[in-house]
Structure 1
Amino acid sequence: MFHGSARLTVHGRRLIVQRHQAGWKQAHIAEAMGVSRKCVKTWIDRYAAEGESGLVTRSSRPHTSPNRTPDEVEQRVLDLRHRERRGQDWIGLELGLPPRTVSRILRRHEVPYLAECDPITGDVIRASRATGVRYERERPGELVHMDVKKLGKIPDGGGWRVHGRSEQVRARGIGYDYVHSLVDDHSRLAYSEILPDEKGSTCAAFLLRAAAYFADHGISRIERVITDNHLSYRRSRDMAAAVAALGATHKFIRPHCPWQNGKVERLNRTLQAEWAYRHAFTSNEARAAALAAWIEHYNTERRHSALGGRPPISRLPT
């Protein structure tokens, strides 16, 4: 394989040698081939020393790399990536390495990009639809994203993560938890609750509590609320009244375009990977009890690459 800027193939190098053997001067060969005199001399000398094999393309990698990252450090990067399933910015800060160094280590070991992996298992999957148009509102409260994530409840004694996949475990389904979430577009401040359903009245009451949580953290006004087109959002009078009580405008995403509500969709994915499925909980109550602490960690400690490695609280009014 030849790089995109290569002037010569093996055939071209052989032509240089043939013209030299025919009595051409090196300067004339260089002009005819459109390369430098040094390039011509290199291939003539290499052919003289090694014969036909000397014309074959070789790797440009140096024989030694004294500044290469030590193997034990590379292994720490790989272990942390496998265990935490986080990106180069997060891993770099954890290990005190430049993110670019972490990226090169991951690529050198053919570790797939996070966007190509299932957030729960880490298995490579087909990437979902993405948009190249990224945006961020200028101030907290200008736009908030709202959504519900449905999670299967954990039977007492644990589910399949504790006992393994089997028909007995599969048959013990006891219903679902509905995780309601609200995310501020500018700061990424998040608030989540586990509720018994996703009815309009439930969504409306959650929105008012979430707005109070945001107010306690310096976001005194919510201007716009964006949701998908679920009936509990679009047709509920309770939901419309709650949005009006906040003095906000209700926006809806285009049908079948969940990436337009991407910030809360990304929170849902993070919730699954770092809270719901990170530990093998032995009861549904234990998992539910861990949510509030995780949200506090998310808002005050967890680093966000979109915020320059800082937590959401760093963007809130002081």
Structure 2
Amino acid sequence: MSRFDRSPKGESIMWKERTRVDERVQLVSEYLKGVQSMTAICRGFGVSRKTAYKWVSRYQADGPGGLEDRSRAPLSHPSRIEPMVVEALLTVRRAHPHWGPRKILAWLGRKQPQLALPSASTGSAILAKYGLARSRQARRRTPPFTDPFADADAPNRIWCADFKGDFKKGDGKRCYPVTFTDGISRYLLKCRALRSTKRIGVQPVFEAAFHEFGLPDRIRTDNGTPFASRGAGGLSQLSVWWVKLGICHERIEPGRPDQNGRHERMHRTLKQETISPAAPTFRAQQARFDRFQREYNEERPHEALGNAPPSSSYVVSPRSYPSRLPEIHYRDGLKVRKVAASGRMRWNGAMVTIGHALEGEWIGLEEADGLHHVYFGNVNLGFIDDQRPSLGLIRPPTKCWARVK
């Protein structure tokens, strides 16, 4: 480097600027002349004796090249990520673009335990470096509503069922996916593409699930068709069938999908993996659902399960599906009546409407203080005022139906 100055006559004079290497060369040169002591040399150059001896030592070992600045990078990187680990992360991410670093690392830890895997934050940085990370917009979350899941403490204690919102396939026809999951293990029991939400298509899917996995203690759904109705007890023909099988039907409150939040979260993943975009035909869409079901149950890590897949926690129910549908039996002391094909029954000279869902079914009536409380199995349908049976069946408040005891 150099700089310019002016002579007394106004002429430009170029001065050579000395670099740090030049200073070191001069220091070593002064020392090797042996004229001054090291203390005096250090005072003149403004350095410590330790620094001066360091440069003399390097000069003697490597010549003038030893006076150049050296890299301060460490000679070894004990936390360096091996290239094969980086490649494994990228490979899994490309195969599963909706998996985050935690799921990828958990999957690799199970499939390739010999790899020295980094932390989740390092994994995220690696994905970002190669353009495979996506920023996620922060969302305002509803505080969790835990009460409905308090009794989901073992497989088959509660099954969650719902329809994933309908969508158009590539051929323009609408698809209505119905899904069932186990409440505690998150195991995806069924995921079927249907052409409507009618009971005639949904009941065979439940029947197949009961044959394969046995019967649950409870089934939790929303209040939509075909799971529920506006009739007595909120019963539909489908839920009447469940009650006769000894299954308790729980329905979440209207407008509260968070009460079935685990199932709704699975639906978000289902949409990402199989519906965006939709397949061209029903057969192709069902093939996507089948692949997703296998991967979700057997491969995909789940943080709530210690990053194990749902198949590691789920076992089939000890309650098998009966060959014949059992009838409802009522305890002693209850009067039993059969609902006519019209959905009504005669009581104290009046025709009382019970509901079309209970046509041909036996109901129980329990007397108390001039009223008769009406039950189908353990479902409270309401009561009849014996003094004024023409008022018909007086139903309990809607909130009483949300969870049937």
Q: Same fold (TM over 0.5)?
A: yes
- Which residue number in structure 2 is paired with residue 33 of structure 1? none
Question: Do the aligned partners of residues 297 and 138 (structure 1) sit closer, same or farther apart at CA in structure 2, a change above 3 Å counting?
Answer: same
- The letter for the 1-side match of 2:124 is L
Check whether the contact 2:155–2:183 (CA below 8 A) recurs between aligned residues: yes
Aligned-pair CA distance for 1:89: 3.2
1:306 corresponding residue in structure 2:
304
Q: What whole-Å deviation, never above 9, does each CA across 1:99-158 have from its counterpart, x for those lacking one?
A: 7712244268879xxxxx9xxxx56345263434555722111111111013433335xx
User: What residue number does 2:237 align with?
Assistant: 238
Taking the TM superposition and a 5 Å limit, the aligned residue runs for 1:97-176 are 101-106=119-124, 124-127=136-139, 129-132=141-144, 137-155=152-170, 174-176=172-174
For the 8 Å contact 1:205–1:242, the answer to whether it is kept is no
Which ranges of structure 2 fall in alignment gaps of 5 or more residues?
1-71, 110-114, 230-234, 317-405
TM-score (norm 2): 0.47
**Is the radius of gyration larger for structure 1 or structure 2?**
2
2: CA distance between counterparts of 1:299 and 1:178? Answer: 21
1:93 corresponds to? 106
Greater relative CO (CA pairs within 8 A, separation 6+): 1
Q: How many Å separate the matches in 2 of 1:75 and 1:245? A: 55
Alpha-carbon contact 2:101-2:123 (below 8 Å) kept: no
Cα distance change, pair 284–128 in 1 and its aligned pair in 2 (3 A): farther
% identical aligned pairs:
25
> Which string of whole-angstrom CA distances, capped at 9 and with x for unpartnered residues, describes residues 25-83 of structure 1?
xxxxxxxxxxxxxxxxxxxxxxxxxxxxxxxxxxxxx9869333438555764674465
Compared with structure 1, are the counterparts of its residues 151 and 237 closer, same or farther at alpha carbon in structure 2 (3 Å cutoff)? closer
Task: Write the distance in 1 (CA, Å) between the matches of 2:291 and 2:285.
Answer: 11
Q: Which moved more, 1:69-78 or 1:260-269?
A: 69-78
Shift of 1:290: 3.4
**Given that residues 145 and 258 in structure 2 are in contact (C-alpha distance below 8 angstroms), is that contact kept between their aligned partners in structure 1?**
no
The answer on 1:194 being equivalent to 2:216 is no
What's the RMSD between the two structures over aligned residues? 3.5
Secondary structure in 1 matching 2:267: helix
TM-score by length of 1: 0.58
- Report the equivalent of 1:224: 218
The DSSP-based 3-state class of the residue aligned with 1:145 is strand
How many Å separate the matches in 1 of 2:247 and 2:116? 42
Q: Which residue of 1 aligns with 2:79?
A: 68
Taking a change above 3 Å as real, the CA distance of residues 99 and 230 of structure 1, as seen in their structure-2 partners, is farther
Q: Which has the higher helix share?
A: 1
Is the CA contact 1:91–1:99 (under 8 Å) kept in the aligned structure 2?
Answer: no
Q: 1:291 & 1:186 partners in 2: Cα distance? A: 21
Structure 1 gaps, min length 5: 1-61, 112-116, 157-173, 216-220
Q: Distance between the aligned counterparts of 1:177 and 1:94, measured in 2? A: 32
User: In 2 relative to 1, CA 237–70 (structure 1 residues): closer, same or farther, beyond 3 Å?
Assistant: closer
